Amino acid sequence: MSFRALQMGTADLERAQQFWTHTMGLEVLSSGPNCVTLAAGETHWTLTQASTPPAIAHFAFNVPENLFDEAVAWLSARTSLLTNAAGDERLFDFTNWNAHAVYFTDPDGNIAELIARHTLPTSRRASFEILGISEIGLVTDDVPGTATSLGLPPYRQGGPQFQPVGDEEGLLIIVHQGRPWYPDNRYPAEPIAFSVTMADGRTVSSER
């Protein structure tokens, strides 16, 4: 269920493009006066100039499952790593998800993540690369109802505050409005506008 395309807004298109291309090394596929499409691995990621600053988003990039240490070194050379709420952890071992992750923010304040999913041996590589966008946060005031309405399989056990749906190559992280974003719990989740197109051609929009 990999994400073939993702579209979302940014408060400052020029600033965002500068960060994601010059700092993070993503390739520009196309651009216009109010948008730019980047190659985030296999995902075509379109950023559009928003009329008002969007709320903070959460999204994640899959990285090779055998190269987490290389991913941490690559990211650390480019930007600061986020810590947990206690400020004493920067590298996260998600035992229940069989994954390791590291977090950072972009100029919009979005909480981005590099995640090595060890359930995906096909993602093994000889050298580090971003494989694709594999998560986007969907904020709602009815987590179970939204999860049911999407018709996607649940991924791990969820509840009224949090429910991921999809699979390791494409997850919608459904969270209740106001729930703090991991890992530092500083910002409450608020809805953002986005549209994601999956490998099977299905499109999911946050504004349904």
Map out the domains of the chain with their CATH numbers.
3-205 (3.10.180.10)
Q: Hey, what amino acid is at 7? A: Q
Query: pLDDT tens, 52-98?
Result: 999 999 999 999 999 999 999 999 999 999 999 999 999 999 999 99
**b (16+ CB within 10 A) / e for 174-205:** bbbeebebbbbeeeebebbebebbbeeeeebe
Cα–chain center distance at 75: 15
Kindly report the pTM of this predicted structure.
0.97
Query: pLDDT tens, 130-141?
Result: 999 999 999 999
Sign of CA dihedral 125, 127, 133, 134: positive
Residues 6 or more apart from 133 whose CB is under 8 A from it?
A: 3, 6, 40, 41, 43, 45, 59, 60, 61, 62
